[in-house]
Chains A and B, each alone.
Chain A
Amino acid sequence: MSNKPISIAILSSLFTTAVWGSAALANEEAWPELNLGDLMKVGVESAARKNQSISNTSAAVFVISASDIKRSGALTIPELLHLAPGVEVARLGNNKFAVSIRGFNGRMANKLLVLVDGRSIYSSLYGGVIWEAENLPLEEINRIEVIRGSAGQAWGSNAVNGVINIITKRAQDTEGWLVDTHGGTETGKAGLALRYGSKQEDGSALRVTVNEQRRDGGKEAGGKDAQDHWNDTSLTFRYDRPDGIDTRWFFSGRVFDSHSDETWMIPTFDPAAMYDITQYGATRITPFISRRNGGDLLGRFEQTTDGGGEVRVQTYFEKFQGDVPGASDNHTTFDMDAQHRFPLGETHDIVWGGNWRQTDHQNYMQQGGFLTASRTDTTVNLTSLFAQDELTLVPHTFTVQAGLRAERQTFGGTSPQPSVRALWTPSEQHSFWLSWSKTVRSPSVVQQTMGAYAVAIPGAPAVLVYAAPPEQSGFGNEKVRTLELGHRAQWTPTLFSDLSIYSSKYEGVFGILSQTSVPNTVIAPVGGDAACTAALINFGLNPAAPGVCVTHLYGNALPVRTRGLELSTEWNPLTAWRLQLNASRMWVDAGAGTPYDANTLLYGSSPKYQGSLRSSYNLTPDRQFDFWLRRIGGLAHASDYGGSSAMTPVTARTELDLRFAEQVTDSLELSLTFQNLLSKNEIQFHPDYMPSLTVVPQRTIYLKALWHDM
């Protein structure tokens, strides 16, 4: 947006002496002469506002704004999430991601809840987010709120280590045509989003967006083309309708079709060479296309009531279909959510509500091969009720909040999730908060009902490892108790910092029940154990042949403790220059007193430290230069699956992204983005959960044009 020259000279002299929190208007004489039309055109630093809104929150919150999203140069939501401190993001290739907060990262990181406009995209089948199916056009996003820490009381189960709230723009704010297109290499190969929004006289508005993205495959660790392409198409809409003085409706929906190619290494046995360990290994399935499609529809009603309260009712319906070898994800979800917030007297602010969700999973397992399941259709029901009270003890200075959610899930049973929080704001510049909370993670369908035959352990005699469906060993909720402390400070008008310290204690984290608990682990000669016999027959092996069969039982195996700190700072040395420095450090202590440590945590591996420095600089009013440097610690990581790359360590890496943008005309912006510039073809994460190949992310360069007719 190029500023009109009007009043600029006067304005510049006005504002050069701006002082925080004091009479900023050096030249009062000229001040009132500014008219509304001029005001609408001047550039505004929005960072301070953003920080102010989070300073009144008794939790570790970071907000990624629409401007951050644009200037980050990221093309997918997982890459964007790296903007927030403490969020772990790793690429398992060009179409697979591992995203988590405060540990337990993995392709299906199951301790992080993600919502899009209040619709959960956490898969109750796998437990985690299928990021390949999330292709929301980035221009639709108003902001992303990243809440770190245990938040089950407010958001429900699975918000164990945090919640990511993706909030889309109101239709009123996206009037007219918009074309967002790019072309380049690798993940930036080609993209086109086309949007049209229209506003009506009554204040209602509608927008429709079509989006098509194409991404090239990366390289295998050995240098071979990995063919992990990712193409997707979607159609989304949002309709906002105000009704009367203080009521509003909001409807949104999408249909999508996403194709992502993967190569899997499937464990196999050769019955003819049972004792020749070199014959055991993996079969390459090259490549298959994992196709996911579906749609959803969401409706929300919000009204302020005469007593000063607010009511919100929301419902959504979702249909999803996706396939991988041996398993499919066919489900429909219906969700209803209602909440009521109201003041009680001068000092209480009460929020209460409930949620009901039913997800029907059909035919998710194809029996045979290396997978087995205790059932193939299941319905997951979730019902919860919650209430919280925020009590203001000293206005604007001290508040305490206490709340409880009671939730019932099909596999996890009933569980209370309480929290207590306090916020102390001794001055406008400083705030301190303290919180204690308990959250549960409910077992996913796969985790509960699916078993597997794993690779033979090299050595003689041959060993078949059979993992029984955890349902059989009574797997239930994982629990976490978290204590957190935070401090936020606006040190000077241009320097803001946000520090949080946490300690979390997990109980019953999913894992192999210890070898030492012999009753749970059956080590028997082949043919001596019923489950094992069945497994061998399934594989076409002779159950009477000599050998050893180990049956693993999975369940609530591990106590885990994590501690850590996260720091985010923001400094505006010049109005045109913004610097953000984030850093985090984490200590994991898994299974004290058991033979397991962080290395053997199933589905989990996280860097000990991460750091990021971002610079957003406006070279001229129409020219932006962005620089984003990240350092991510190595992983103490064991792949779930065998294969050539299993032993390659994931070392610390440095990433650099650059973006250069030019506002060519009022309506056209061109930008050139370089991602992953320092890449030395490092592995960022080993495959887990699904036995895909280890893929090495490459550098991406792309040119983007953003045009809108406003």
Chain B
Amino acid sequence: MRNTVRYFLLLFLLTAPGAQASRTEFSAQQVKSAYVFNFIKFVEWPAQEIRAGGKVRLCVIGDDGLHASLIALDGRKVGEYELQVRRSTDPVNLSICHVLFIGEQERRRLVPIIKSLDSAHVLTVSDIPGFAERGGGIGLLHHDDRMLFEVNLASTKKAGLRLSGQMLNLAANIFGR
């Protein structure tokens, strides 16, 4: 038994300090940014809201880290749109966003925010647990060591958005079908 302990300790010491970070792991921030960016490609807003080649206003509230990540993508082309990244702390004006990411810091105000948007043409995205079930648009969820997404089709329909079937096929869960 002692030898087994030694063996493992040795193994641990040998492998730990010089080991390569061989596993491709990303911070949640990076994966969230990539998801938000990608969702835009699969969503169609009503024609009167954004014309082809128009600007998609992306707002981030309650997650400064994510906002900082996404601001780097301001002005980029995403699908047929041009991305415009805004940080909004004013709940009254949230309906001017086309995509709204709601971060952990807004956990308490989550439901009031969703409700205040009513049928405004806003795609809501959040990594707050239970987001899609509670009436949000797209919820990001941790599953083991991966991040997946789920969709509440009833809320995206209410917002007048069309989500591509390709995206829905990849969703871990679809509510409100």
Shortest Cβ distance from A621 into B: residue: B23
The answer to whether A45 and B111 have CB atoms under 8 Å apart is no
Cα-based distance from A77 to B116 in the complex (angstroms): 41
B5 touches A390 (CB 8 A): no
- The answer on a CB contact under 8 Å between B111 and A310 is yes
Contacts A48-B27, A203-B177, A576-B22 known; A304 to B4 CB distance under 8 Å?
no
Task: Give the distance in Å from the alpha carbon of A422 to the alpha carbon of B145 in the complex.
Answer: 34
Q: Are B108 and A28 in contact (CB under 8 A)?
A: no
Q: Given B71, B89, B104, B112, which contacts A395 in the complex, CB threshold below 8 Å?
A: B89
> A242 contacts B146, CB within 8 Å?
no
Closest to B145 in A: A43
Taking a contact as CB atoms under 8 Å apart, the answer to whether B23 and A44 are in contact is no
Q: Are B135 and A699 in contact (CB under 8 A)?
A: no
CA distance in complex: A57, B30 (Å): 25
- Residues in A neighbouring B109, C-beta threshold 8 A: 343, 349
Across the interface, which residues of A come within 8 angstroms of B88, CB to CB? none
Shortest CB-to-CB span from B148 to chain A, Å, is 6
- Minimum C-beta distance from B143 to chain A (A): 6
Residues of A near B37 (CB, < 8 A) are 31-32
Question: Chain B residue with minimal CB distance to A28?
Answer: B72
Residues of chain A contacted by B172 (CB below 8 angstroms): 172-173
Stretch at the interface among A243-251, A477-485, A507-515: A243-251
**B104/A656 in contact, CB under 8 A:** no
Which residues in window 126-177 of B have CB below 8 A to A?
127, 133-135, 141-150, 152, 154-155, 158, 167, 170, 172-177
Which of A41, A248, A304, A621 is close to B111, meaning CB atoms less than 8 Å apart? A304
Contacts of B150 in A (CB 8 A): 172
Query: What B residues does A173 contact at CB under 8 A?
Result: 141, 143, 172
Output the least CB separation between A166 and chain B (Å): 15
Asked if A653 CB lies within 8 Å of chain B CBs, one says no
Q: Which of A13-21, A154-162, A217-225, A435-443 contacts B (4 or more CB under 8 A)?
A: A13-21
Which of A271-279, A359-367, A611-619 sits within the interface?
Answer: A611-619
**B33 and A24 contacting across the interface, CB-CB below 8 Å:** yes
The interface on chain B, measured as residues whose beta carbon lies within 8 A of the other chain's beta carbons, has a size of 75
Assess whether B47 is interfacial by the CB under 8 Å rule: no
- A597-656 contacts to B, CB under 8 A, are 615, 617-621, 625, 627, 656
The answer to the question of A517 belonging to the interface, with a C-beta cut-off of 8 Å to chain B, is: no
A518 within 8 A of B: no
* CB–CB B167/A428 < 8 A: no
B147 CB, min distance to chain A CBs, angstroms: 5
A310-345 interface (Cβ within 8 A of B)? 310, 343
Determine whether the beta carbon of B146 is less than 8 Å from that of A43. yes
Contact flags A650-683 to B (C-beta < 8 A → 1, else 0): 0000001010100000000000001001100000
User: Which residues of chain B are within 8 angstroms of A14 by Cβ–Cβ distance?
Assistant: 30
Bound together, the chains give a CA A700 to CA B115 distance in angstroms of 53
Closest chain B residue to A8, Cβ basis: B24
Check if B115 sits within 8 Å of A304, measured CB to CB. Answer: yes
Instruction: Compute how far the CA of A258 lies from the CA of B153 in the bound complex, rounded to whole angstroms.
Output: 44
Q: Does the CB pair A677–B1 fall under 8 Å?
A: yes
Question: B145, A310: Cβ atoms under 8 Å?
Answer: no
A503 on the interface (CB 8 Å rule)? no
B115 to A306, Cβ gap below 8 A? yes
Residues of A within 8 A of B31 (CB): 39, 42, 44
Nearest chain-B residue to A428 (Cβ)?
B64
Tell me how far the C-beta of B137 lies from the nearest C-beta in chain A, rounded to whole angstroms: 11
A201 at the interface (CB under 8 A from B): yes
Please pick, from B24, B38, B177, the residue contacting A12 in the complex, using a CB distance under 8 A.
B24
Docked complex Cα distance between A42 and B104 (Å):
22
Which among A11, A46, A309, A349 has the highest number of chain B CB atoms within 10 Å? Answer: A46
Are A24 and B30 touching (Cβ within 8 A)? yes
Q: Say whether B15 contacts A20, CB under 8 Å.
A: no
A244 CA to B154 CA, complexed, in Å: 7
Contact A201 B72 (CB under 8 A): no
User: In the complex, are the beta carbons of A576 and B25 less than 8 A apart?
Assistant: yes
Task: Write the nearest CB–CB distance from A576 to chain B, whole angstroms.
Answer: 5
Q: How near does chain B come to A425, taking the closest CB pair, in angstroms?
A: 8
Q: Which residues of A contact B35 (CB under 8 A)?
A: 36, 39
- For the complex of A and B, the 9 pairs showing the least CB-CB separation, nearest first, are A308-B112, A246-B135, A23-B72, A43-B25, A203-B175, A245-B154, A308-B115, A621-B23, A575-B25
Which residues of B are in contact with A by a Cβ distance under 8 Å? Answer: 1, 4-5, 8, 11-12, 15-16, 19, 21-31, 33-35, 37-38, 42, 62, 64-65, 68-69, 71-73, 76, 78, 89, 91, 104-105, 107-109, 111-116, 127, 133-135, 141-150, 152, 154-155, 158, 167, 170, 172-177
Q: List 8 A-B contacts (CB under 8 A).
A: A18-B26, A24-B27, A45-B27, A56-B105, A201-B177, A205-B173, A308-B113, A615-B12
Given pairs A45-B26, A308-B111, A308-B114, 14 additional interface contacts (CB within 8 A): A11-B24, A31-B34, A32-B73, A32-B76, A32-B78, A36-B38, A46-B28, A49-B104, A246-B114, A349-B108, A349-B109, A396-B89, A428-B64, A618-B23
Query: Contact residues of A with B, CB < 8 Å?
Result: 1, 3, 8, 11-12, 14-15, 18, 20-25, 28, 31-32, 34-37, 39-46, 48-49, 52-53, 56, 66-67, 172-173, 199, 201-203, 205, 242, 244-246, 248, 302, 304-310, 343, 346, 349, 390, 395-396, 428, 493, 574-577, 615, 617-621, 625, 627, 656, 658, 660, 674, 677-678, 699
